[in-house]
Amino acid sequence: MCALVLAGALIPARAHADHHTMTMPEDTPASSFDASVSILAATFSTMFYGGDYEGVVPSVGWANERVGAGASWAYYRLLENGLTRFGEGDLVLHAQATALGEHDLQAGPTIAVSIPTGESELGFGMGHVMVMPAAWGAWRRDRLAVTASLGYSRALVHASALHDHGMWPLVEPMNMSEITWSAGGELAIAEGIRAGARLSGGVPIGLLPGHDRVVGTARVAWATGRVDTAAELQAGLVGDPFNIRGVLSTSLRF
Amino acid sequence: MRTLILVFLVACTTTPLKGPPTEATCPDATNPALTWNNFGYDFACHYCTNCHDSSLKLSQRNGAPLFHDLDTLQGMMIVSDHTDEQAAWGPAAHNSFMPGAGTGGKCPSVLGGELDENCPKPTDEERENLGTFLACEKLRTQDYTDSDAGVSDHCANYTGPH
């Protein structure tokens, strides 16, 4: 509850539950608010845990032509090793800017910070603050859009206190210290409908233990008026972030 | 406004459920007072193994992670750091997450069963002894096949209360 209050008091924003996955709207008006909700379902099988989870992720955001900010907060049902639990995930705050915006090319910095509102021991949260700065770029020509990002994510915790449990938490796993990356493309296939694919992942660096992670995503999105809706099918290709995950999200701009 | 934000950030940050290492020490590593025979076996079989047992299927573990099986001394020592951080007391920390806190205070009354009873809780002294026992076992040269030392005793043979 306090996280909702914080989110409301702090910022309107363009939320990024999936860290920086470089989804920039194609025709952003001068300034707009948005409210969105995503529902997701996944199965996972890691070294220590197996099961599935479902989640709902409400988010709010604000953006103009140069900057945007947002917040998102998930609530999950998690079945792990035979036990079902319910709980909120970590609160994610996000901001980004367009530093370069010429013709077909856009680029800029972005930063996300997760606040450990989720219970770490139960698999809902990292257990500490994560800071996730990155740079993103987007290139558009005709019906094609190509996007990419590169960043560094780090847990604000002393390395000597850690053991290698693999990536954590179960619902949105990351390493304690990692290079994050994503690259993808979208093609407008009909009026208001886009389809695309994306690869994203993390590479652990530093003294902290960790594992490589690669996620492949197929995506279709459609826009009608002020409503944007997208469906994604994601597969954990490397590192067991999950086996398969589906995400359906819809966003209202106003 | 900044103060308000800081207050909320602190309030929204959950207290860690797992503690730091207890930094318990072993008074006499060559002749430990607490052994698997006279302490560890009873502690593990009474408080832990209805979920943390190597015979349990994934769906019977009530959330206990795989390969965290405390039904043998060897199993316990493989994850001794985790056990210390979750259940033991020592000079640096009093860790009482397990048993019970991860399952709403409920535990199975039988091996791999449903969460149908309030978890039996170790006493403060037992948690301190757990920290000392683990500290001593970490220093000892382990021979998990030495049946004379009792280290091969398995919770499947346990006849005390679960």
Is B12's CB within 8 Å of A91's CB?
yes
| Identity of the amino acid at A242 | F
B20 contacts in chain A (CB < 8 Å): 161
Tell how strand A244-253 and strand A227-238 pair up: antiparallel
A85 contacts in chain B (CB < 8 Å): 63
Mean pLDDT of B10-27: 67
pLDDT at B2: 46
* Residue A218: strand, helix, or coil: strand
pLDDT at A34: 95
- Give the confidence band of A239 by pLDDT, cuts at 50, 70, 90: very high
- pLDDT tens digits for range A185-207: 999 999 999 999 999 999 999 87
pLDDT at B104: 87
Is residue A179 within 8 A of residue A203, CB to CB? The reply is yes
- pLDDT tens digits for range A127-142: 889 999 999 999 999 9
Averaged confidence pLDDT in chain A: 87
Mean pLDDT of A102-118: 94
Is B97's CB within 8 Å of A121's CB?
yes
Tokens 């934000």 appear where?
A: B5
CATH code: domain of residue A87: 2.40.160.40
Q: Is the pLDDT of residue A92 over 90?
A: yes
Mean pLDDT of B33-39: 91
Mean pLDDT of A74-91: 96
Distances (CA, A) of A55 to A42, A118, B11: 9, 13, 23
B59 contacts in chain A (CB < 8 Å): 81-82
The number of folded domains in chain A is 1
- Closest CB to B12: pick one of A47, A117, A127: A117
Is residue A136 within 8 A of residue A103, CB to CB? The reply is no
- Closest CB to B14: pick one of A6, A49, A116: A116
CA distance linking residue A138 with residue A62, whole number of Å: 19
- Closest CB to B5: pick one of A10, A120, A122: A10
Query: Two tokens at B58?
Result: 């994934």
Q: Where are the domains of chain B?
A: 33-157
Tokens 């992720």 appear where?
A: A57
Instruction: Please tell me the distance in Å from A253's CA to the nearest CA on chain B.
Output: 26
- pLDDT tens digits for range B138-147: 998 777 776 6
Is B65's CB within 8 Å of A81's CB?
yes
Q: Is the pLDDT of residue A101 over 90?
A: no
B62 contacts in chain A (CB < 8 Å): 81-83
Which of A47, A88, A91, A121 to mutate to probe the B interface, most B CBs <10 Å?
A121
CA distance linking residue A66 with residue A89, whole number of Å: 29
The gap between the terminal CA atoms of chain B, to the nearest Å, is: 53
- Give the confidence band of B18 by pLDDT, cuts at 50, 70, 90: low
Distances (CA, A) of B104 to A86, A148, B96, B120: 11, 43, 13, 13
- Give the confidence band of A166 by pLDDT, cuts at 50, 70, 90: low
pLDDT at B87: 95
Judge if ipTM > 0.85: no
* Structural domain for A244, as ranges: 2-253
Averaged confidence pLDDT in chain B: 84
Q: Is the pLDDT of residue A1 over 50?
A: no
pLDDT at A8: 36
- pLDDT tens digits for range B46-83: 999 999 999 999 999 999 999 999 999 989 999 999 99
Query: Two tokens at B105?
Result: 């205070």
Q: Tell me which residues of chain B have a C-beta less than 8 Å from any C-beta of chain A.
A: 4-5, 8-9, 11-14, 16-18, 20, 57-68, 81-82, 97, 101-103, 115
A2 contacts in chain B (CB < 8 Å): 8, 11-12
